Structure 1
Amino acid sequence: MKDALFGGVNAAALTAMKPDFSPDLDRFAGHCKWLLANGCNGLGILGTTGEANSFGFDERKEILEGILARGVPASVLMPGTGCASLTDTVELTKHAKAQGCRGVLVLPPFYYKGPSDDGLFAWFSEVVNRVGGGIAIYLYHFPQQSAVPFSLDLIGRLLKAFPGVIKGVKDSSGDYANMKAMIDHFAKDGFEVYSGSDEFVQRILADGGAGCITAASNVNARFGQVVYQKRTGAEADAAQAVLNATRKAATAVPLIPGLREIIARATGHDGWRTIRPPHLPLSAEQGQKAWEAMQAAGALPLPGLGMKAAAE
């Protein structure tokens, strides 16, 4: 897909924290800059991997403002702004717009289960009308986590009602048939479909999707960029094989603490292991398993992070 606002490889970035669980803005901004220098076209911040719903309303504003103040460009950021509350979703989206972000990733209202398409349409209509345009809205389809999926009918209604505002979707369902159906139905209208799963990057690009927004891009983005640039051929195929292997390695242990463990060992900063409850850091045994799996996948060492632990 040409001219996609976030076309390419986007990391669902981990959020650095201090021992008291407050945001570590210096470390987070540094990580964002490293990602952009090592294969990422853009960054999905404050999503599932970034533990957005473990942060409060003011903290989420602080995190976005903090990394912008430290030199991370707003144009590459897609903050997650979806909350169970309509008011909070609107205000966080307005805030992202005011900071210069081009798009936001919006979960459906996820507390009440089984809402109708009419109810979801009404909720998103309120979001769009209250925000007032000026920023692209990307739908976050992650039914395993939210328990509130986006149907094709609902997406079609939203696109018809709000052309150019409802801009795309991140599909973290792992169901490639669903991603392909969204491409087939809506890509002709400029709707950008992003895979939340690394194993589909090459496939979704070939079928007319826009790219990926993935957790494992915290460690494998340079391989994703090869796939994005080359698309086909031996080099792209080899890079896709690494993406497949790193995704498998990342999910061999609990995903978010596992990725934190990898970055902690790669940087030598134990603070990366800090994670807000109810998540917990990995045990020593799990941490070693995660590290060895990522080594076997071919993602390590990570360029520019020193790799203090590489010889351990």
Structure 2
Amino acid sequence: MKDALFGGVNAAVLTAMTPDLSPDPARMAGHAKWLLANGCNGLGVLGTTGEANSFGLHERKQILEGLIENGIPASAMMPGTGTASLTDTVELTLHAKAQGCRGVLVLPPFYYKNPSDDGLFAWFSEVIQRVGGGIAIYLYHFPQQSAVPFSLDLIGRLLKAFPGAVKGVKDSSGDYANMKAMIDAFAKDGFEVYSGSDEYVQRILAEGGAGCITAASNANSHWGGIVYAKRTGAEADAAQQVLTATRKAATSAPLIPGLREIIARSTGDDGWRTIRPPHLKLGKAQADAVWAAWQAAGALPLPGLGVKAAAE
């Protein structure tokens, strides 16, 4: 897809924390800079992997502002701003717009289950009208986590009612048929479809999708960058095999603490293991197993990210 705002590889960035569980934007920015230098075209911050819903409203603003203060371009970031509250979602989206972000990723209101498409349309209509334009809205389709899916009919209604406001979707369902249906229905009109699953990167690009926004990109972005640049051929095929293998490795343990373990061992920075409850650090057996799985996938050591690089 041409002219996609976040076309390419976007990491769903881990949120660094201090020992007292406060956000640590400086450490997070260091990781973000490495990602942008190693295959990432953009950064999905404050999403599921970033534990956004474990942070309060003021903390989420602090993290975004801190990243910008530490040298991460606002234009490279797609912050998650969706909450169960209409007014909090609007406030976070307006804040992201004021910082210079080009787009935000918005969960549906997820506390009340089984809302109708009419109810979701009304909710998003309020968000879009209150935000008032100037920033692209990306829908976050993750029914396994939110329990509130986006139907094709709902997406079509939003696109018709608010031309240019809803720019795309991140599909974390793992259901490629659903991603393809979104591409077939809406990509011709510039709607950007991003896979949340690394195993589909090459395929979604070939079929008209915009790229990916994935958790494993925290550590496999080097190979994602190759797939995005090359698309086809032996080098792209080999890189896609690494993406597929690392996705399997990442999901062999609890995803977020497992990725924190990989970054902690790769940098020599134990602080990356700090995580907010209800998530917990991995035990030694799980930590050793997930490290071994990433090694078996052919991804370790991570290019340019080692203890020496971190110390410098």
State the TM-score, normalizing by the size of structure 2. 0.98
Residue 47 of structure 2 aligns with which residue?
47
Residue 153 of structure 2 aligns with which residue?
153
Residue 9 of structure 1 aligns with which residue?
9
Matched residues in 2 for 1:59 and 1:244: separation?
34
After TM superposition, the structure 1 = structure 2 runs for residues 180-259 of structure 1, keeping only pairs within 5 Å, are 180-259=180-259
TM-superposed CA distance for 1:26, in Å, is 1.1
TM-superposed CA distance for 1:163, in Å, is 1.1
1:144 aligns with 2:150: no
Matched residues in 1 for 2:185 and 2:93: separation?
27
Matched residues in 1 for 2:298 and 2:27: separation?
25
- Maintained 8 Å contact 1:168/1:193: yes
Matched residues in 1 for 2:188 and 2:120: separation?
24
Matched residues in 1 for 2:230 and 2:66: separation?
35
Amino acid at match of 1:178: N
- Maintained 8 Å contact 1:301/1:307: no
SS of structure 2 residue aligned to 1:226? helix
Aligned residues: 308
1:129-173 Cα distance to aligned partner (Å, 9 max, x none): 000000000000000000000000000000001111100000000
Matched residues in 1 for 2:144 and 2:279: separation?
17
- Maintained 8 Å contact 1:44/1:80: yes
SS of structure 2 residue aligned to 1:18? coil
SS of structure 1 residue aligned to 2:153? helix
- Maintained 8 Å contact 2:49/2:215: yes
Matched residues in 1 for 2:105 and 2:256: separation?
19
SS of structure 1 residue aligned to 2:218? helix
Matched residues in 1 for 2:211 and 2:25: separation?
27
Matched residues in 2 for 1:227 and 1:166: separation?
27
TM-superposed CA distance for 1:303, in Å, is 2.4
Matched residues in 2 for 1:238 and 1:157: separation?
40
Residue 78 of structure 1 aligns with which residue?
78
State the TM-score, normalizing by the size of structure 1. 0.98
TM-superposed CA distance for 1:254, in Å, is 0.3
Matched residues in 2 for 1:292 and 1:224: separation?
21
- Maintained 8 Å contact 2:222/2:303: no
Residue 122 of structure 1 aligns with which residue?
122
Q: Percent identity?
A: 83
Matched residues in 2 for 1:298 and 1:137: separation?
36
1:52-96 Cα distance to aligned partner (Å, 9 max, x none): 000000000000000101110001100000000000000000000
**Is there any run of 5+ residues in structure 1 with no aligned partner, and where?**
none
Amino acid at match of 2:195: S
TM-superposed CA distance for 1:305, in Å, is 2.3
Residue 113 of structure 2 aligns with which residue?
113
Residue 265 of structure 1 aligns with which residue?
265
TM-superposed CA distance for 1:302, in Å, is 1.3
Matched residues in 1 for 2:154 and 2:307: separation?
46
Matched residues in 1 for 2:245 and 2:63: separation?
31
Matched residues in 2 for 1:189 and 1:151: separation?
18
Q: CA RMSD in A?
A: 0.6
Matched residues in 1 for 2:306 and 2:283: separation?
23
- Maintained 8 Å contact 1:202/1:231: yes
Residue 133 of structure 1 aligns with which residue?
133
After TM superposition, the structure 1 = structure 2 runs for residues 9-48 of structure 1, keeping only pairs within 5 Å, are 9-48=9-48
